[in-house]
Amino acid sequence: MAQNSVIVYYSWVGNTETAAKEIQSLTGFDIQKIEEKKARKFGTMMSAAMGAVFGFKSGIKPMDFTLNGYDNVFLGVQVWAGKTTPAVNSYLAKASFKDKKVWMFITMADDKTPQKFIDTITAKIEKKGGKVMDAMAVTTKWDPKENVVVSADDLKSAVKNWIENIKI
């Protein structure tokens, strides 16, 4: 695998972070977390989903939006009410994908491939000069009352299979 690759992800609950760390353990790629300036409280899923539906952006902490030194970006995102999260909306607005190859890994609550979601993010990345190469979506059930994060073992097989079939 190419070492000029970076994993960039947003994870509110921890499921996307689990997937990101599993990818990192298999590849050794650098990793960057998109973090909101104001932490979201658990149990506020309805307002979070509404923010996604309306395409809101949230304040995110400073990070490398230029992606200098990287040719390949592995972008970890979550589906909220069929849309991108406010933090990811902010990242996509600020990041430079010029001449970058992008692979998306998506965590979601249902088991339907979110093609419209993938197409929307792809259009945003391509508008900024990037090329989406592939996307992997995994179902990660979550109960907001218990806040149990998916285990790495639950994702290991899907992530490993995806990574092994990627041509960089």
pLDDT in tens, 29-63: 999 999 988 776 655 555 555 555 555 666 789 99
Count structural domains, the chain.
1
Q: Please, which residues have CB within 8 angstroms of residue 34's CB and are 6 or more apart in sequence?
A: 8, 9, 10, 60, 63, 87, 88, 90, 91
d(CA 126, CA 71): 14
pLDDT reading at 86 higher than 60: yes
Please give the residue that has the higher pLDDT: either 42 or 13. 13
| Strands 101-108 and 30-34, bridge-based pairing | unpaired
Q: According to the model, what pLDDT value does residue 43 have? A: 54
Is residue 130 pLDDT above 60, yes or no? yes
Indicate if the pLDDT at residue 155 is higher than 70. yes
Give the DSSP letter of residue 71: S
pLDDT at 91: 95
- Residue 13 banded pLDDT, cuts 50, 70, 90: confident
Domain of 129, CATH number, reads 3.40.50.360
- Residues with Cβ within 8 Å of residue 155, at least 6 apart in sequence: 18, 19, 22, 138, 140
Confidence of residue 125 (pLDDT cuts 50, 70, 90): very high
Q: What is the mean pLDDT of the chain?
A: 84
Q: How far apart are CA 58 and CA 143, in angstroms?
A: 24
| Lowest-pLDDT choice from 3-12, 60-69, 104-113, 127-136 | 104-113
Task: Mention every residue, 6+ apart, whose C-beta is less than 8 A from residue 99.
Answer: 71, 129, 130
Q: Is the pLDDT of residue 154 over 60?
A: yes
Mean pLDDT, to the nearest integer, of 134-162? Answer: 78
Q: Range of 78's domain?
A: 5-164
Whether residue 152 is predicted with pLDDT greater than 60 in this model: the reply is yes
How many percent of the chain have pLDDT more than 70? 82
Residues with Cβ within 8 Å of 136's Cβ and at least 6 positions away in sequence, in order, are 103, 104, 105, 106, 158, 159, 162
